[in-house]
A and B are shown apart, each in its own frame.
Chain A
Amino acid sequence: DTEVTQTPKHLVMGMTNKKSLKCEQHMGHRAMYWYKQKAKKPPELMFVYSYEKLSINESVPSRFSPECPNSSLLNLHLHALQPEDSALYLCASSQQGLGLGTEAFFGQGTRLTVV
């Protein structure tokens, strides 16, 4: 089982709304990631959690707030977003911290539209 599940698949939200994106994996992976992707561009790293602790924050605005309740779950809380935040948000996981032969597995993404 190499599945990473993201919900919802699509989300439309207003600039004053608060919403959350969810990600779940049951592969026993201890590293989980959030990426943001614009059309036909490579994913851009936002956050990395390693052993349920935030290890990398790529200078992401505070309107994006990650949370890792346990080793299988990763959330991304959204508040006061801007239209330019509209994108595909991808969750990924890997067996451990990045190293030799590390493979990252991605979810199907959440298509977010901010209106």
Chain B
Amino acid sequence: TQLLEQSPQFLSIQEGENLTVYCNSSSVFSSLQWYRQEPGEGPVLLVTVVTGGEVKKLKRLTFQFGDARKDSSLHITAAQPGDTGLYLCAGVLNTGNQFYFGTGTSLTVIP
């Protein structure tokens, strides 16, 4: 059982549509990161959220950390083909020293 579950696992949408990816856990995290990874490349850090309820915006991407620090979401507005990739949430448990990855969401944006 994965500590961080992402949904949906796969997502294929048309250019210009909006989407939300969820990252959920029953455990409390001291921080969560979101990464985007393109095929054959390493994950690229998009954002880190630390405070419960925190919202961060990065151009068309909006990241939210749940009030209880157990979940996070990534919302993309007006998706573009360049947004295509594997989106990974990852975090450090509040009580431990392990870095856990979510199950991943593979996004395809069709021109």
In the complex, what distance in Å separates the CA atom of A88 from the CA atom of B99? 19
Q: How many residues of A contact B (CB 8 A)?
A: 28
* Cross-chain contact A97 with B97 (CB below 8 angstroms): yes
In the complex, which residues of chain A have a beta carbon less than 8 angstroms from the beta carbon of B40? Answer: 88, 109, 111
* Cross-chain contact B97 with A98 (CB below 8 angstroms): yes
B45 proximal to A (CB < 8 A): yes
In the complex, which residues of chain A have a beta carbon less than 8 angstroms from the beta carbon of B97? Answer: 97-99
- Of B33, B88, B106, the residue contacting A103 (CB under 8 A) is B33
In the complex, what distance in Å separates the CA atom of A107 from the CA atom of B101? 16
Q: Number of contacts between A and B (CB, 8 Å)?
A: 64
A106 proximal to B (CB < 8 A): yes
As a 0/1 sequence over residues 72 to 96 of chain A, the CB contacts with chain B under 8 angstroms (1 = contact) are 0000000000000000101010100
A60 proximal to B (CB < 8 A): no
B window 8-57: CB within 8 A of A: 30-31, 33, 35, 40-45, 48, 50
In the complex, which residues of chain A have a beta carbon less than 8 angstroms from the beta carbon of B90? Answer: 104
* Cross-chain contact A109 with B101 (CB below 8 angstroms): no
In the complex, which residues of chain A have a beta carbon less than 8 angstroms from the beta carbon of B48? Answer: 101, 103
B92 proximal to A (CB < 8 A): yes
Q: For residue B28, give the distance in angstroms from its CB to the closest CB of chain A.
A: 12
Interface centre among A6, A45, A99, A102 (most CB of B within 10 A): A102
Q: For residue A114, give the distance in angstroms from its CB to the closest CB of chain B.
A: 17
In the complex, which residues of chain A have a beta carbon less than 8 angstroms from the beta carbon of B35? Answer: 106
As a 0/1 sequence over residues 22 to 60 of chain A, the CB contacts with chain B under 8 angstroms (1 = contact) are 000000000001000000111101000000000010000
Q: For residue B47, give the distance in angstroms from its CB to the closest CB of chain A.
A: 10
Residue on B nearest A90 in the bound complex, by CB: B42
